[in-house]
Structure 1
Amino acid sequence: MTYATLDIERSDSGITTLWLAREDKHNAMSAQMMDELVRTADELDEDDSTRVVILAAKGKTFCAGGDLTWMQAQADKDRTGKIEEARRLADMLKRLDSLKKPLIARVQGPAYGGGVGLMSVCDLVVAAQGTKFSLTETRLGLIPATIGPYVVRRMGEGNARQVFMNAKAFGPERAQSLGLVSLVAPVEDLDAIVQEEARSYLNCAPGAVADAKALACALARMPSSTQIEYTIGKLADRWETQEAQDGIRAFFAKETPAWRK
């Protein structure tokens, strides 16, 4: 199967690389990319030749978050439409989170908003030195709602509260201390380290790996349907506030919103 926003690179070893391929858009997530990520996860789970998946990105940016055109379209929808689009993102994250195969993030560049959400559903995150991360939603008058269950689970509440609200950028070493990043690699060694981590799974029984991952997820109490519905509603609530409308309008008009000092 071919995709418009993704590339799939398979190797004989059993390591498959899933590339975000919207380099010209900084790999921002459009509705199409979200839908294709769900279909790809289904495909890879059914592919017995794939034993490990690396989530990587073309270009200089890992993922800039939500696509601006998609975000602007959300702002124009009624509440039902806002909830549908929030659910699209929530369902995509849930599907990647439940992937049976080990999922390793190869983070070669910045990740913002939803990009941090993508990192949070991975089993292992290897980030290059010099990368930057930020939960930028509050800068637009929004909140990191649908990615929230995964980010909070990944970092823990105390760490998440340090970065959830201020939209400040932080580097890979800080991300590692927060629990978001597993390993920090020199840029020139990023691929070698990612491949080394991926190969370690090949020494293990694939069925046992899948069951061990499922066990870890169950023991950690994966996000309940109540939490997911709650965050979908909260994001729709935020989209309807004057702050969000002003923030989005100011962003596209390249103006400074009233709250920014």
Structure 2
Amino acid sequence: MSFIASSLDSRGVATLVLSRPERRNALDQAMVSELTDALRYAASDAQTRLLVLAGAGAAFCAGGDIDWMRRVASETPEANERDALLLAELMRALDTLPKPTIARVHGAAYGGGVGLVACCDIVLAADTASFCLSEVKIGLTPSIIGPYVQRAIGARQARRYFLTAEVISVAHARELGLVHEIALAEELDARVARMVEALLAGAPGAQAEAKASTAIFADHPIEESLMRETAKRIAARRGSAEGMEGLAAFLEKRPPSWRRDRNGDDVS
């Protein structure tokens, strides 16, 4: 049985839908493995330009499946840790995907669901969405997702919400930096579609490098070594086939090659 519904349109827009609505898309071993495989495929697939992550049913993702976690907890420490690493690999696969990612969030995003949100590049949420780092209420901690969530909202706010497990409204989630934009529930898909169009205007290689560069910027002070690294990168980008095509297309007042669909038609 598949817990991830996947599709790829003619523009290269991949959509992955968490499809376990009877459990509010709670993550278990099978779902984590399937989603990780789907992300790794999208990362290596030349036809995939960007990815939208969504949830079926009433919620985006209710976090970890309690039955799964109870079952794993009774196994040996080694087996327990191996299982936990599956979730860690999922978060890393999503966070480092070399293509733009959009989280389409509706309903509840709790626990691991917040982790998925924090790992996506752009988060568009319905006005009915809510968020919660609920782990401490069941004697656990947001350990695996913690680095990604803390990066998104900052250490000070992470301390509060890791400890209190308060429900975070969508409006406050935007204030915290977890959510980029809020839309009425009935307008969410249209907002996602507009964001997809904005992303398709960018060059795939440039987007992958721009995304990777954010980690470099975060880890290095602004000093000569970073200046030289950024100068080296932009020089290489200007001289790349993609960079040359983009500059030529601009001067020739035509769409660049990546703005054409698989039939060669302009998708501007």
TM range, normalised to the smaller chain? Answer: 0.7 to 0.9
Total equivalences in the alignment = 220
SS in 1 for 2:51: strand
- Off by >3 Å, runs of 4+ in structure 1: none
Distance 1:40 1:31 in 2: 14
> Is the deviation greater in 8-17 or in 26-35?
8-17
Residues 89-118 of structure 1, C-alpha deviations (whole Å, 9 max, x = no match): 111101111101101000011011000000
Q: CA deviation at 1:196?
A: 0.7
Distance 1:204 1:15 in 2: 13
Aligned residue in 1 for 2:94: 96
Structure 2 residues without counterparts, runs of 5 or longer = 221-268
Residue 10 (str. 1) matches residue 8 (str. 2): yes
Residues 186-223 of structure 1, C-alpha deviations (whole Å, 9 max, x = no match): 1111001111111111111111111111111332349x
Instruction: Specify which of 24, 31, 34 is matched with residue 32 of structure 2.
Output: 34
Q: Which residue identity is paired with 2:16?
A: L
SS in 1 for 2:142: coil
SS in 1 for 2:64: coil
Residues 134-169 of structure 1, C-alpha deviations (whole Å, 9 max, x = no match): 111000111110110100011110121221111111
Distance 2:217 2:68 in 1: 35
Q: Which residue identity is paired with 2:216?
A: A
Q: Which residue identity is paired with 2:213?
A: L
SS in 1 for 2:81: helix
Aligned residue in 2 for 1:87: 85
Q: Which residue identity is paired with 1:122?
A: C
Instruction: Specify which of 47, 50, 59 is matched with residue 49 of structure 1.
Output: 47
Residue 220 (str. 1) matches residue 218 (str. 2): yes
Q: 1 or 2 for the larger relative contact order (CA 8 Å, sep ≥6)?
A: 1
Distance 2:90 2:170 in 1: 25
Aligned residue in 2 for 1:153: 151
Structure 1 residues without counterparts, runs of 5 or longer = 223-261
Instruction: Specify which of 95, 114, 127 is matched with residue 116 of structure 1.
Output: 114
Q: Structure 1 length as normaliser, TM-score?
A: 0.81
Aligned residue in 2 for 1:259: none
Distance 2:75 2:174 in 1: 37
Aligned residue in 2 for 1:225: none
Q: Percent identity?
A: 40
Q: Which residue identity is paired with 1:9?
A: S
Aligned residue in 2 for 1:62: 60
Give 1:161-176 correspondences, 5 Å limit.
161-176=159-174
SS in 2 for 1:220: helix
Which of structures 1 and 2 has the bigger CA Rg?
Answer: 2
SS in 2 for 1:165: helix
Distance 2:77 2:13 in 1: 42
Distance 1:218 1:11 in 2: 32
Distance 1:204 1:181 in 2: 22
Aligned CA RMSD, in angstroms, stands at 1.4
Aligned residue in 2 for 1:206: 204
Distance 2:68 2:160 in 1: 28
SS in 2 for 1:170: strand
Distance 2:112 2:219 in 1: 22
